[in-house]
Structure 1
Amino acid sequence: MSIPSDNPILLARDFGPDALTLAVGEGEIVALPGACDEGFLRALSGADPAWPGGLWLQGEPLHTLRPAARLRFAHTQCAVAPRVGKLLPELTVAENTALPLILTGLGRQEARRRALRWLERLDAAACAEWRIADLTPSEMRRVALARALVLDPAILLAEDPTDGLSAPERLHLLRILRAASGTHGLTIIVATDDEDVLRWADRSITVKVKTPAAEPANTELAAEPLPAPITEPAAMMNHAAHGGIPHRIGRHARGEHRFSPVGSGAERGR
């Protein structure tokens, strides 16, 4: 076990079927090489109450909370970057990024303003009105990260954020994330085997995780309903949802991306 501070922002103890112990300090960038995936990151964020063991987030013992309360608290503190395949092709980049805010009930104008702010920080503002199919792989990655960060979480968790990118694109993305960590106090946890990412992180912790078997439903906890999922998020943007639309990757002859510094920490509003 390695604990970087007396008061880690995230602490897992005897967590999961492998009894993992992990501590991450505020503002730290930690890479997790090994058999980690998005499911493990979701569990580590507190979004999956089925995993056994102790989990503390900002000092709050999530393992003692009921599922709905645990999920609500986790969503205010952590964000798991979605895979690019989860971006909605019928929405523009700005609408995809603003969607998490819209789902919380925030007005569209303010949600769009915050979405554009994060797109600018991640050097993706130029494609705000494009559809997902018109983006390069690098732009898709940055839009997915913007959608996770638009809620201004304290912790960002991402699986293979540089997968499929060229060496210059990987370094560009990592520089942007390092700036976000430095100016916003953002803690970043990435599951990856990319050597560039492992060198970029403050430290690496090898984790091998077995997915726990599904447990029988707890009738006592089932009395508290979890938040209902949004089945047609595109309809909230006045778009008709089109099922089965393939994700085409269109490449455009554009010049080098310009790096935009991340805004001040005060802008996080926390």
Structure 2
Amino acid sequence: MSIPSDNPILLARDFGPDAVSLAVGEGEIVALSGACDEAFLRALSGTDPAWPGGLWLKGEPLHTLRPAARLRFAHAQCAVAPRVGKLLAELTVLENTALPLILTGLGRQEARRRALRWLERLDAVHCAEWRVAELTPSEMRRVALARALVLDPAVLLAEDPTEGLSAPERFHLLRILRAACGTHGLTIVVASDDPDVIGWADRRITVKVAAAEAAEEVAEAVAEPAVPAVAAPITDPAAMMGHQSRGLPHRIGRHARGEHRFSSSVGSGSERGR
């Protein structure tokens, strides 16, 4: 284990089925290479209390907290970038980005304002009123990152953010994330074996995580009582945003600009003044 500072913002000791140990300093960009996936990143963010081992976030020992308190603290400090397939087809890009804020009870107008700011920072403001099916893969990636960052977390975790992108698109995305890290005090942890990502990061940590089935078995063995829901499930996201669902078909479409646009099963607080 390499500890970059005396007081790392994210620290794991003997964590998970494979007893992973790692430490990430505040403002650092770390690439996790090896068998990492979104499930491991979510556990590392503190949102899954079933994983064994020690986990500290901003000095808070999450492994000692009750599930509800753990979730509240983790959601306020960490964000895991959603897969592009979790963006909601019936909402616009702006509505997709603002949705996490609206779920916290923030007014729609303020939520849209903050969402626009992050879309601009991630060079996706030009497609704010588009639907997900109209986006390029690169635009989808940036919108998914904006949706994670709109709650202004201290730590961003993302799985393979450059997967499927061309070399210029990868360079563009990584440059934007580096700028966000520098200007907003963001700490970034990415799970990727992409040489471009590894070269872009400040440090590389090689980790080995058990297969999903093994992790699930361990989780069941140490599972705690059910955690109360943090927010009501999204049953009609279009209605939440104040309009009718248009029933967009899930298909590969072609945008007016003649580029391929993809959609499949398309689907953290207040700002700290940065």
Shift of 1:231: 2.9
Closer/same/farther in 2, CA of residues 180 and 245 from structure 1, 3 Å limit: same
Letter in 2 for 1:172: H
User: In structure 2, what is the equivalent of residue 226 of structure 1?
Assistant: 229
1:235 aligns with 2:239: yes
Query: TM-score when scaled to structure 1?
Result: 0.89
Whether the 8 Å contact between 1:85 and 1:247 is mirrored in structure 2 is: no
| Aligned CA-pair RMSD | 2.1
DSSP-derived class of the 1:190 partner = strand
Q: In the aligned structure 2, how far is the partner of 1:185 from the partner of 1:77?
A: 12
Shift of 1:243: 7.3
Whether the 8 Å contact between 2:50 and 2:223 is mirrored in structure 1 is: no
Q: In the aligned structure 1, how far is the partner of 2:15 from the partner of 2:53?
A: 4
Whether the 8 Å contact between 2:103 and 2:231 is mirrored in structure 1 is: no
User: In structure 1, what is the equivalent of residue 26 of structure 2?
Assistant: 26
User: In structure 2, what is the equivalent of residue 196 of structure 1?
Assistant: 196
User: In structure 1, what is the equivalent of residue 134 of structure 2?
Assistant: 134
Whether the 8 Å contact between 2:37 and 2:191 is mirrored in structure 1 is: yes
Q: In the aligned structure 1, how far is the partner of 2:143 from the partner of 2:187?
A: 19
Q: Which ranges of structure 2 fall in alignment gaps of 5 or more residues?
A: 259-270
Q: In the aligned structure 2, how far is the partner of 1:247 from the partner of 1:34?
A: 33
1:207 aligns with 2:211: no
Alignment of 1:64-213 (within 5 A): 64-210=64-210, 211=212, 212=215, 213=217
Shift of 1:192: 0.6
Whether the 8 Å contact between 2:149 and 2:156 is mirrored in structure 1 is: yes
Superposed CA deviations along residues 191-231 of structure 1, whole A, max 9, x for unmatched, are 01111000000011111101421315867x44x62324423
Aligned residues: 257
Letter in 1 for 2:242: N
Q: In the aligned structure 2, how far is the partner of 1:113 from the partner of 1:132?
A: 20
Superposed CA deviations along residues 56-100 of structure 1, whole A, max 9, x for unmatched, are 000000001111111111000000000000000100000000000
DSSP-derived class of the 1:33 partner = strand
Q: Which ranges of structure 1 fall in alignment gaps of 5 or more residues?
A: 255-266
Q: In the aligned structure 2, how far is the partner of 1:216 from the partner of 1:17?
A: 11
Question: Percent identity between the aligned chains?
Answer: 79
Range with bigger deviation, 117-126 or 244-253: 244-253
DSSP-derived class of the 1:205 partner = strand
Q: In the aligned structure 1, how far is the partner of 2:14 from the partner of 2:138?
A: 36
DSSP-derived class of the 1:145 partner = helix
